[in-house]
Amino acid sequence: MPRLPSLHALRVFESAARQESFTLAARELGLTQSAVSKQVALLEAQLGQALFRRHHRRIEVTECGRIVAHAVRSSLANLAARLDEIDTRRPTQIRVLADADFAQLWLFPRLPAFERQYPELRLSIRSETSLEGPPLDGFDCALLWGRGEWRNCRFEPLFTNAVFPVVAPGYFVHLDRT
């Protein structure tokens, strides 16, 4: 089987051919116009054929380019259809914000059991050392210390925490001398 050209270059070329513009292809793909131009040039070198006629401020797809663009479009459509047939659903991602100590001491040890029980779910965990309130944006769930008196949040207590001071035996002696 002959070696396939770069799949990235094919994807970039298809966008440029469909829009007849390197600039619009760059915008669609999140690339620079220069990167699109380089990928097209790479593909043309691999195929040994010009895929575009370059004019001042515009491009025109060649006959060879039309054939390649059609082949790429139909191949991508075929691939998408086959992937739909095998149900390629991505796992549901839950974005969690948690206090760093809570995450390390309570949450992380329980993750393996959670992943076994819910393999279709993926947790994306961000831990912070200082959390004073609920997350602003970008999280589905937050595990925070507090009484839950935050606006626009649903509060579900997990457990209470007993807090008490601990000091070294010589700490108060040191304070008396100052």
pLDDT at 24: 94
pLDDT at 97: 86
pLDDT, average across residues 68-87: 89
Q: What's phi and psi for 40, nearest 5 deg?
A: -65, -45
Instruction: State the angle between helix axes of 7-19 and 33-47 in degrees (0 to 180), rounded to the nearest 10.
Output: 110
Which of the pair, 12 or 171, is modelled with greater confidence? 12
CA quadruple 72, 74, 79, 84: dihedral sign: positive
pLDDT greater than 90 at residue 13: yes
Average pLDDT, the chain: 85
pLDDT at 90: 67
Measured in whole angstroms, the distance separating CA 117 from the mean position of its chain's CA atoms is: 24
pLDDT at 153: 75
Give the pLDDT band (50/70/90) at residue 178: low
Residues of the chain with pLDDT > 90, as a percent, come to 44
pLDDT at 133: 60
pLDDT at 158: 81
Euclidean distance between CA atoms 51 and 66, whole angstroms = 8
Alpha-helical (H) ranges within the chain are 7-19, 22-29, 33-47, 63-85, 100-102, 108-117, 171-176
pLDDT at 147: 74
Give the pLDDT band (50/70/90) at residue 102: confident
pLDDT greater than 70 at residue 174: no
pLDDT at 111: 92
Give the pLDDT band (50/70/90) at residue 27: very high
